Structure 1
Amino acid sequence: MTVLAPEDSLAEQTYRTLRRNVILGHYPQGSRLVESALASELDVSRLPIREALPQLENEGFVRSLPRRSSRVMLWTVADVTELYDARLSLETLAARLAARAVAAGASLDPLQAAIDAEHRALDSQDWLEAAEASTVVHEAIVEIGGSTLLTSLMRGISGRTTWLSYLTSSRDQHVQWAGHHGLLDAIRTGNDRLAESIAFAHIEQGREPSLAILAKA
């Protein structure tokens, strides 16, 4: 039986547990998730399961099926390509807006804190925590930029970004961390075009290694 973390509402606990189990591969890609079986495993009623699954579907973790079940999404080359294309569009804009905001006096503290948390996760070799922290780094850049629309759009890809980061954690994660420091330095200058170009290079350099790792899986 999977034990739920004693925090937040039961629905939120259920969502977080299911999300974690998908990312870690406890529920393999392509596997069918049945409400009744999940409720039994987590020792909850079906109601929090029914509340959690649509959220997981919205974030790209599962796809709903008939008869109160879902299927864990299966990563394909097209999925990885689509995610990287979306990230290039959204996160380069985020870096540009963040640099402008910093030039106008915004604090870089959220980004620095996120990078520090990522470093601690890497030191402990907690690859799920490192993947989560890496996503938080990019969310912090969006936060600094101050665009509510961009924040909303980023929520749609953050979960899959974390999932893919975990699946490809055999990449040199310290290179990724160094790239985040490069982003921090570029945004600190207040030069929006520099920040945009550094963000583009940082994201794009992960595309081919990610595809190569998944091809071997």
Structure 2
Amino acid sequence: GWHFGVRIVGNCNNVQCKLCQKIIRGGITRLKQHIAHNKGQVAGCPRVTSFVRENIMKLLKDKKEKKIDFRKRKEEFEYRLREDDEEDSDEGMRITSQQSIRSQCELVDGDEKPTMGFIYELVLFKDMGETFATPQAQRAWSRMNPAEWWLMFGSCSPELQRVTIKVLSQTTSTTNCERNWSTFSYIHTKTRNRLKYRKLQKLVFTHYNMQLKMRHIK
């Protein structure tokens, strides 16, 4: 733009067009609009060639598109921030859930503290990653006995596989056509993860006895 204009000494907002010598108020942007013949902004330069006018018009168009793109990216960033804030509001719930997971590790294994590998593997199972995401695993999800399913497709999470099979092998039914997640799915829900350890232990014990009774009835 400055190739076609020069600043007026003493007034940085005024620019003189080198082509027609007209003084333009509003700085370099108004000068570009003057050369590009933008209607409604400023009078067009009568001496500009079509080649120069089209090039300046393209510059103005590119600048406008960049501004729109910047505004969109800013809105997307603000939207993600709002989503993060909403997720942060559930942080207490997630902490309680993690504490409950640790309690279940102690209940099944008898260890004082579970390994972090168990926590990471539980997230891997929740996100259906690695061997959990294979087509074979997806097809067998509702057809196989849960303990057998974990034995076959849970190799990517050995610690979680070991604990889950230990629980499922005690309480799952022997029918292949019926999926029965039993204690594992009974324990790991948002509502029950908020329960205290003793109350949760009683529920698991009751649920286990109920499953045994149902198996004897069958």
Query: Larger RCO: Structure 1 or Structure 2 (Cα < 8 Å, ≥ 6 residues apart)?
Result: 1
- Normalising by structure 1, report the TM-score: 0.28
Bigger Rg over Cα: 2
- Normalising by structure 2, report the TM-score: 0.28
